[in-house]
A and B are shown apart, each in its own frame.
Chain A
């Protein structure tokens, strides 16, 4: 009886020590990083009320700022359409690559490695780099924004779709293969019909995400909602900038609620 007790105490003590050490290490990393970045935590916390006071005072819409609404509305709609188009085109490309490259449906080992590399490459090139590179060739146009979002989204969706296929379709696929079905029959009957809800769920999430990312792309490339925000912000028309932020909040939250409703019905 004595032996296990000692072990348990030892185990708990060791666990506590490990946790203490982990907290100490994380804390140490935090303070050293702050020192290097010249960031004062207390000042940072103090800035929060300051920022919100400033927001409340300056971003408050005035009767005049209503006159900006049509322009904001048009640009916002443009941004949403662009986000949707980039996700849909990316999804079509990504599903083909995901099928070719996933562990269960992949056609060959070398193809799997190639697709994984491709996805990782597209995903990890910063969105800023895509936007700036494309801006240089395609100038200040919506097409630039579309392509930047597209390349980024392809990388994300290939990885997501591959994981979905590997998680959800492996077993049913094996069964169809055993019946003597051909590769394309297995893919369409066994894989696609099984993973459709998860596919849609990811597509909806990416649309929401791309509306947000389009703001960044817009600031850099001078398109869509990001452009108008940047314009108002830099010309100190903060009431209009506030309206823009409000509009973005509403759109993103509506999209999120809509997506959740759709997910509930299809799952």
Chain B
């Protein structure tokens, strides 16, 4: 049988027929994605050039400043010592920052999981989900440090304000991360339990929970890393104690950069330890999956 194309050559659209010797052969057609990539790059670069050329340096002579920075860094990294506070005080402060990170991560994980279940599109009704997601987006948009400052008025300056402030951001962050993991679950797994007449929370703990444990654990440890960094920030900028406060005092009040060096090394060691644990746990779950 003759194919349609051969039977009606005249009706063929000219564009479908490759020109035997076109002037220039195109390698790609213009696409929205390529256009968007180019415009994002160009605008970002233009903004950067504008910003850098208009950056306010307060007439600080950059060569002097970099020289000074070099000397400071030398003190920090090559001559660290515990300074006037002593190593015991610094270790205590470090410990309380670590505990702060752990407590706020646990709060974030527990509350975040409940909210994530309620917010996931494949589990609950659309309105409740949308409501929780928008509330979380707003909470996330406010920097952790502002949350800590806000709570420091409500409950007084100190660890309680720091815990509440960090927890708020953790809850919002983990709700988003968890609910994205939940939404990736195969719908049939959930439906299989729904048709047997299971109650909502039975489905959650029999089907949802076991499926997402790997990503749940890995997100939680990522948040623990972030919370440790935030605990330091809150300690420094909101006076909430811990190693962050010691860092702030040493670098901004007593200008003892040898002590800053000691604190920075202590923080780096803990942070790398947390990172190491997080990577190991992720590998563990990836290989056993």
Contact = CB atoms under 8 A, between A and B. Distances in A.
A127 interface: yes
B155 A133 contact: no
A50 B151 CA distance: 9
Contact of B103 (A37, A127, A134, A245): A37
A51 interface: yes
Q: Is the interface of B mostly helix, strand, loop or mixed?
A: helix
A137 B72 contact: yes
Given A47-B154, A124-B272, A249-B138, A139 B146 contact: no
A120 interface: yes
B160 A137 contact: no
Given A132-B251, A216-B237, A245 B160 contact: no
Interface string B70-114: 001100100000000000000000011001101100100000000
A126 B267 contact: yes
Contacts, number: 204
A253 B137 contact: yes
Interface residues on A, range: 35 or more
A51 B150 contact: yes
A85 B52 contact: yes
B153 to A, nearest CB: 6
B149 interface: yes
Interface string B35-49: 011001100110110
A102 B229 CA distance: 26
Nearest to B230: A216
Interface string A129-148: 10011111111111100100
Interface stretch (B8-16, B54-62, B118-126): B54-62
A213 interface: yes
A101 to B, nearest CB: 16
B288 interface: no
A133 B251 contact: yes
Interface in B135-153: 137-138, 140-146, 149-151, 153
B222 interface: no
Closest 6 CB pairs of A and B: A51-B154, A132-B251, A252-B141, A141-B58, A124-B271, A85-B51
29 contacts: A26-B106, A30-B106, A33-B103, A36-B96, A37-B159, A43-B155, A44-B163, A47-B151, A47-B164, A51-B164, A54-B150, A54-B153, A82-B55, A85-B55, A124-B267, A124-B268, A124-B271, A124-B272, A129-B251, A133-B251, A136-B68, A137-B66, A138-B60, A141-B56, A141-B60, A216-B145, A248-B142, A249-B141, A253-B138
